[in-house]
Structure 1
Amino acid sequence: MTLAGNARMNRQRVSLHRAGITPELVLDEAVALTADKGLRGWRMRELADRLGVYPAVVYHHVGARGAITAAVVERIAGLVLVPPGGRGWRCCLADLAREIHSVLGRYPGVACEIALQTARNGPPPAIGVPLVVALEEAGIRSRAPEVARRAVRALCWQLAQQDELHQTIPAECLGRLWDQDVALILNGLAADLGG
């Protein structure tokens, strides 16, 4: 790029900064990048370029990469609608599996991050809290938090594996694998819960 081109880009970046870059706008763009390239497929500089600002502006508004990753995962987890537990725990978790596959499948890498987070600290509150309530409604009382944690971790881990396989295995095969994995997870929980 020429010196004049650099000066033009600098003016554009400054004017966009003044136009109102907000944490919400940065997060919106990070979520869009995650849909396009996966959670680990983009860099901070790329996010800043898409916003038309310097990377320092991104850091100022939302922090380092770890903070942005956590915010992206939290935002996307909030898109997962946890079904009610009125039809029983098995139906609740089968519906949750479909929802996780539908929502998180559009954002490669997020399921893996949620699986790891769930193993360490429990599921994201946007999923975990309503799921515990739904499981309690479905008749799993004292074990609802444990079952929610195990189910979210297992479902997200299986979806994370599909993120890795999607380039080598046809989609219809991945769909059958997902259905089989969900059945195994539900059967395992049923055996553990005694029903």
Structure 2
Amino acid sequence: MSTPIRERAPITPAVVVTAALDLTRRRGLSGWTLRDLATAVGARTNVIRYHVGNRADVEAAVVAEVCAAIRLPERGSWTDWIRVLAARMREVFDRYPGAGRAVAAGTGPAAPLLEAVVAELERAGFGAESELAALAVMVEICLSRGPGLELLITGLTARLTELRRR
């Protein structure tokens, strides 16, 4: 008599990414391996690679999901918009340790967030300096917990005032 095969839900990219999000929530983005992820979904690592890719691909998928969980603020003053965005980003990053560090670069799956900050700063009048200012804002939000954001906003406000005088 043969041993019955355990029935389980099919493994899909969504199942893999959901398990990776759960591991990230519990251990942080760098606190798990593909082997840990494979164990979590009840498969071998080659199944993870088949459905999602290598570790970098899985991490990018996790960061994309984390970024998708961040709601952009409604229109208002650019300073209030940045403050609200920062609060929302930090709230999400607190649930997914290590994701903020991955988002700080503003590339890959984090690019839409960076683009939203650039657009808001362009709307405020920063012009050609919008991209650099947006990158500074993103890095500050993602990596800092101190008064740095308020100091950055103060500096950017002074720079914007100077730009408007010209």
TM-score by length of 1: 0.72
CA distance in 2, matches of 1:27, 1:74: 10
Change (3 A) 1:91 1:122: farther
Counterpart of 1:170 in structure 2 is none
Q: Number of residue pairs matched?
A: 161
Residue 124 of structure 1 aligns to a residue whose secondary structure is helix
What residue ranges of structure 1 are gaps of 5+ in the alignment?
A: 1-6, 160-176
Rate the CA distance shift 1:25–1:74 in 2: closer, same or farther, 3 A: same
1:152 maps to which residue? Answer: 138
Distance 1:111 1:101, change over 3 A: same
Could you say which residue in structure 2 is the equivalent of 1:113?
A: 102
Change (3 A) 1:23 1:150: same
1:182 is aligned with what amino acid? L
Look up the equivalent residue of 2:81 and give its one-letter code: C
Supply the distance in 2 between the matched residues of 1:67 and 1:74 (Cα, whole angstroms): 10
| 1:40 aligned onto 2:30 | yes
**Does 1:56 pair with 2:46?**
yes
**Relative to 1, partners in 2 of residues 1:94 and 1:137: Cα closer, same or farther, differing over 3 Å?**
same
- 1:58–1:122: structure 2 CA closer, same or farther, 3 Å change rule? closer
> Cα gap change, 1:122/1:58 in structure 2, threshold over 3 Å: closer, same or farther?
closer
User: Residues 27 and 182 from structure 1, CA distance in 2 versus in 1: closer, same or farther, beyond 3 angstroms?
Assistant: same
Unaligned stretches of 5+ residues in structure 2: none
Could you report, residue by residue, the CA deviation over 1:88-116 in whole angstroms, capped at 9, with x for unpaired residues? 2211111111111111121110111112x
Name the aligned partner's letter for residue 108 of structure 1: P
Letter aligned with residue 189 of structure 1: L
Shift of 1:27: 0.7
Q: Which runs of 4+ in 1 moved over 6 A?
A: none
Aligned counterparts, 1:63-78, within 5 A: 63-78=53-68
Distance 1:71 1:150 in 2: 24
Write the letter of the residue equivalent to 2:62: V
* Cα shift at 1:151: 0.6
Per-residue CA deviations over 1:128-160 (Å, capped at 9, x if unaligned) read 22222333333333332222222111211215x
